[in-house]
């Protein structure tokens, strides 16, 4: 009889872990391009229902890991795309890369569930998880892609980013889901209903915080150029002239923009060798300055750079990308891969970019100063700060051809919208294959050129809003709050143990 009961308990644990995996898959549908937030949030609440019914810390940990595995496995499915650019060399790594990434990032969602139940304080899973999400943005250079907070991206709730930032909204989201899950576990409508109502009010009411679109007649105009060069053709010698001609035609097209923005690595040669190409670009632009993406070499090091060409065609300013993509732009532990000679990785270890010194502003003359972000840097909230002055705009030069044609480019665009809201600044985005877009300080896309389109779009540059609270305080208030909550939970658990152990002698 006891043996039968043990078998039944084991089967129940497996079912709960399997349900955690399914819930994680559904939660991933809240990310772009599906944006099914109204399905994703109940899936998150169902995870907490499973955790609060878990038989112990081990089951909770496995359930949390399964949830993360499902979530990251689907939401990061675009990770296979870079490996398929040169499929003969690196294609074999694609499924392993996705599996390892999903399993690894799921660990950030495993330990909060395990630790909270191990301590006997189930509500601690909320601050533990929020703290783990914050850590995910920094550890080993960080990877804050697909934060919990982004499930709100299609709704007005994201306007709260201007006050509490992405980690504050993550904490709030987890708290609402946890209370709902607790109510479901206790079969208490009185407990489950209030967070649902609050969440709906947050999603629908946040839109009231956004003012009507401003008139743009007197605003300077930026031209966002999109050459649409597929990644597997972009660096082929026979195609280089074709894609460069697309850039030149778009640059010289009718209109009088005040600034022209080209994508990341738009010029197919090193800056040191690009004098003639830059002269052609400057002549096409007339009296309009250009910010363009190009690679450069200095003292044997190579950089992924953004260069400002002034109205006279002179190089007025240079920014070198400082937050590089591991395994894409540089090889961590390159010596190891050379030593063990892993096919594909060993070849990549022989080259790569060097990191620039950090965030800095580009001087655009009458247009003011701009903060440049090259591709992946727009994923990091911390990369929009660290400069001495506040910029008038954020310029993102990116090549999203690396991310394929389904989820990756749209998730990258969504995160650029989040940076605009957090900082209260317009984001102007030129993407090689799309989506190029002008984004106002409330995260609204005011003009765009779609994925896979060739051409340009002229867009008024939205005016910045006043500095947001988050722009002033960064992540410090949330970090201190999380440390306080975690500490209070651990101390409360300790006091309870002391009280339980003391009694009449």
Q: Quick one: how many helices (H) and strands (E) in the chain?
A: 18, 12
Angle between helices 237-251 and 275-285 (to 10 degrees): 30
3-state secondary structure of 224: strand
Task: Name the active-site residue from 375, 377, 422, 486.
Answer: 375
Task: For residues 128 and 58, give the distance between their C-alpha atoms in angstroms, rounded to a whole number.
Answer: 16
Contact call for residues 488 and 115 (beta carbons, < 8 A): no
Among left, alpha and beta (phi > 0; psi -120 to 50; other), residue 365 is left
Tell which residue, 61, 52, 17, has the closest CA to residue 177. 52
Based on the residue annotation, tell me whether 486 is a catalytic residue of this protein. Answer: no
- Residue 37 near residue 152, CB atoms below 8 Å: yes
Query: Which residues touch 169 (CB under 8 Å, ≥6 apart)?
Result: 149, 152, 157, 158, 160, 161
Report how far residue 248's alpha carbon sits from residue 456's, in angstroms, rounded to the nearest whole number. Answer: 11
Count the Cβ atoms, other than its own, within 10 Å of residue 473.
14
Angle, in degrees to the nearest 10, between helices 407-423 and 161-185: 120
Catalytic hit among 264, 329, 377, 422? 264
Beta bridge mates, 371: 394
Q: Which residues contact 314 (CB under 8 A, 6 or more apart)?
A: none
Q: Yes or no: say if 397 and 293 are a contact pair by the CB < 8 Å rule.
A: yes
Three-state DSSP class for residue 187: coil
- Residue 375 among the catalytic residues: yes
Q: Could you count the other beta carbons within 10 Å of the beta carbon of residue 310?
A: 17
CA distance 201 to 34: 22
Quote the CA–CA distance of 358 and 280 in Å, as a whole number. 30
CA 219 → CA 90, 109, 188, 417, 462, distances in Å? 46, 45, 54, 20, 7
Specify whether the CB–CB gap between 375 and 384 falls below 8 A: no
Sheet containing 221-226: order of strands: 315-320, 301-309, 290-298, 259-261, 221-226, 455-460
Residues in a beta bridge with 457: 224
**Among the options 81, 133, 234, 321, which is catalytic?**
321
Q: How far is CA 242 from CA 77, 215, 234, in A?
A: 31, 38, 10
Residues with catalytic function = 264, 321, 375
């Amino acid at each position: 009889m006891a043996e039968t009961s043990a078998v039944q308990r084991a089967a129940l644990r497996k079912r709960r872990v399997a349900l955690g995996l399914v819930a994680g898959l559904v939660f991933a549908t809240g990310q772009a391009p599906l944006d099914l937030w109204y399905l994703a949030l109940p899936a998150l609440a169902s995870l907490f229902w499973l955790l609060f019914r878990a038989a112990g810390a081990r089951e909770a940990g496995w359930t949390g890991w399964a949830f993360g595995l499902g979530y990251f496995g689907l939401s990061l499915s675009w990770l296979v795309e870079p490996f398929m650019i040169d499929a003969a060399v690196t294609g074999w790594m694609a499924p392993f890369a996705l599996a390892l990434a999903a399993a690894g990032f799921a660990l950030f969602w495993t330990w909060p569930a395990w630790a909270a139940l191990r301590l006997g304080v189930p509500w601690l899973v909320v601050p533990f998880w929020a703290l783990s999400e914050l850590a995910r943005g920094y550890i080993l250079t960080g990877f804050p892609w697909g934060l919990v907070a982004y499930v709100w991206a299609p709704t007005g709730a994201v306007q709260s980013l201007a006050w509490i930032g992405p980690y504050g909204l993550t904490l709030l989201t987890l708290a609402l889901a946890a209370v709902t899950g607790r109510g479901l576990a206790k079969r208490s409508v009185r407990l489950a209903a209030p967070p649902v109502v609050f969440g709906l009010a947050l999603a629908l009411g946040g839109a009231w915080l956004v003012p009507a679109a401003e008139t743009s007649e007197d605003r300077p105009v930026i031209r966002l150029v999109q050459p649409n060069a597929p990644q597997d053709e972009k660096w082929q010698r026979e195609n280089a002239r074709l894609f460069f001609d697309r850039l030149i035609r778009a640059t010289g097209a009718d209109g009088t923009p005040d600034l022209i923005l080209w994508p990341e690595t738009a010029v197919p040669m090193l800056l040191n060798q690009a004098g003639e190409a830059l002269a052609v670009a400057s002549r096409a632009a007339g009296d309009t300055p250009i910010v363009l993406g190009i690679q450069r070499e200095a003292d044997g090091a190579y950089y992924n750079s953004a260069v400002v060409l002034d109205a006279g065609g002179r190089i007025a300013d240079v920014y070198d990308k400082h937050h590089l993509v591991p395994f894409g732009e540089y090889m961590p532990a390159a010596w190891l891969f050379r030593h063990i000679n892993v096919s594909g990785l060993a070849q990549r270890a022989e080259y790569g970019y060097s990191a620039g010194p950090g965030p800095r502003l580009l001087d655009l003359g009458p247009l003011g100063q701009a903060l440049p972000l090259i591709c992946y840097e727009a994923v990091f909230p911390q990369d929009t700060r660290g400069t001495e002055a506040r910029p008038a705009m954020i310029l993102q030069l990116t090549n999203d051809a690396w991310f394929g044609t389904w989820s990756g480019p749209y998730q990258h665009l969504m995160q650029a919208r989040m940076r605009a809201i957090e900082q209260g600044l317009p984001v102007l985005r030129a993407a090689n294959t799309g989506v190029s877009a002008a984004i106002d300080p409330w995260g609204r896309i005011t003009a765009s050129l779609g994925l896979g389109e060739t051409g340009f779009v002229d867009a008024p540059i939205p005016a910045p809003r006043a500095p947001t609270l988050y722009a002033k305080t960064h992540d410090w208030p949330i970090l201190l709050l999380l440390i306080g909550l975690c500490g209070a939970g651990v101390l409360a658990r300790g006091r309870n143990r002391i009280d339980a152990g003391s009694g009449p002698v």
